[in-house]
Amino acid sequence: MSFSEEVQGAVSAHGMWKARLRQAIDSGTSEFKVDVVRQDNQCAFGKWLYGDAKRLHGSDPQYEKVRALHAEFHAEAAHVLSFAVGGKKAEATAAMGISAPFTRVSSTLINTLKIWEKAAA
């Protein structure tokens, strides 16, 4: 895949995570394990980020910004998921609120990915 396709795939996948987390909050269950979600190198984008992207773009300052934000996104997603599967629906919902760290890092990651994509074009 091209750089742009990788970035667009990441944007789409991270949007899907919001839906998965909301579903986990509603149901109290998830097919995903909290400890795996916490790892930022297990998703397709994370594998690319630590592989080809690091090799090709590792010296680019935007790479490190994206890598750090991606890791923070996974930490926050795992935090929300742990509440959701732990039966703490109100806490999980609050952890996805408009001013919550999950929402902030998710938005910042998407914006940073788009900036990186434009700069690399």
The per-residue pLDDT for 8 is 86
CB 87 within 8 A of CB 29: no
CATH of the domain at 97: 1.20.120.30
The whole-number pLDDT of residue 44 equals 87
The dihedral built from the CA positions of residue 108, 4, 21 and 82, taken in this order, carries a sign that is negative
The first and second tokens of residue 96, run together, are 């996805």
Q: Domain count for the chain, please give it.
A: 1
pLDDT of amino acid 81: 98
Question: pTM for the full model?
Answer: 0.92
Name the band, by pLDDT with cuts 50, 70 and 90, for residue 13: confident
pLDDT at 7: 83
The answer on pLDDT for 1 being more than 80 is no
Alpha-carbon separation of residue 17 from 1, 56, 73, 74, 121 (angstroms): 22, 27, 10, 10, 27
- Domain hosting 61: range is 3-120
